[in-house]
Amino acid sequence: MKPDASKASVAGRSPGVRILYSPPSVFIFVVKPQKTNYAGLLRRGKEKNRMEIINKKAAIILAKKIINDAFVLDDLIKEIQKTERGKAKLAGLKRRTQTARRFAENGQAILSLVKLHQSKIDPEILENLKKVKDKAEAVLRENPIMLAMPPIDVIRFTDMPAKYAINHLGQKERRHGFGLHALSTTERGLSVCIAYMPPQHIQLYHNHTTSENTFILDDVVCGIYKKKDKKIKIKAPSKSILHFSAYCVHTIYNSGKKMSRNITVKAPHSVLDWKPFYQETAKTEGSAQLITRANKIIANPSMELKIFHIRNYIYKYDIEIMTIKPYMGHETSTRKDKYFLVVEGELDITGNSLTKRASRDDIIVVDKNTNYKLRTQTGCVLYSVECREDLK
């Protein structure tokens, strides 16, 4: 028998702890502060965008429940593997995302707190919890491009299920991602990840075995990376690229008063080999640089296209930023499938006797060998990636 969806409790729970469940067997938790020795607690802030205070005993209870309920994720993975482009349903994507979020976010919160406070918890519990978190994140990598109907479609931001990354302070940062392909999960090819950073938010320090290039879409943010025992900061303005070398331990901090978006292209293994760093004492080699100038600019009376070349032993692609002026249009065709993120403005895309309207944060999907026209009254900015497999 499954627990009640709203008021189920856990036998033997810590005083002041109340764990709530939402079907199917997934959970959120609320923990009330207690008058006790706070040195023994895993601390969380109380502001709106943070999780609450949770102590060590409550963390163990929750971890065991997460591990016990992980069978739910196996069914979700099987569902994803059966999805087909144009036949996937939005309701199914939202259900799977909402379910997997509970496992991934609670699992990450517990693991971060244990690492940050160096709390002693059974290593087997932590290892199993990490496996469950990784499985939940595999569900969260379901590719929303599968929702798009050929040959032209728009996936609206309002239809994208919310997903969040949790930093070491318990703060949540909304994320979206999509594959630059029509396969069921994003890590099966090149993909992009869009981060919506709240004001004063800092990401968890991390690194990858490959380099990373993050394009800043909005206001100035600060890239921070570690070189031996030093932290080095780089201010990155809008429409610039923060480049971090392979194995460079780094983070991004939004020091402004507004939400700021950034977008990163990822190879499959750079998604899977993400490694968090919790302790400030981590000493690593690494480098970073700021790229502000495009390698190529194409302009005409109706539009401007800035092209940034990304070239190394792993990545060969171009970041393309297209700005179309108000009451203007751009007509073209593509030999490859094309994916646009609408950075600013509103536009209509027409092709194959179809017209679709797209606005800020929507994703435009165009199948290869399709003639199409973009037209805007407001003016618009589009982000896209051109894969260059032809380069050796």
> What local confidence, expressed as pLDDT, does residue 174 receive?
94
Strands 152-155 and 363-366: antiparallel
> What local confidence, expressed as pLDDT, does residue 54 receive?
55
> What local confidence, expressed as pLDDT, does residue 329 receive?
94
> What local confidence, expressed as pLDDT, does residue 391 receive?
54
> What local confidence, expressed as pLDDT, does residue 146 receive?
97
CA 139 to chain centre: 13
Give the total residue count for the chain.
392
Residue 310 neighbours by CB under 8 Å, 6+ apart: 213, 265, 316, 317, 318, 319
pTM for this prediction: 0.84
Domains of the chain: 1-147 (no CATH), 190-292 (2.60.120.10), 296-387 (2.60.120.10)
> What local confidence, expressed as pLDDT, does residue 167 receive?
84
Structure tokens at 106: 């609670």
Main-chain phi, psi angles of 237, to 5 degrees: -80, 170
> What local confidence, expressed as pLDDT, does residue 303 receive?
96
CB atoms within 10 A of CB 339: 22
Summarize the chain as % helix, strand, coil (round to 5).
Answer: 20, 40, 40
| pLDDT under 70: residue ranges of the chain | 1-55, 116-118, 279-284, 390-392
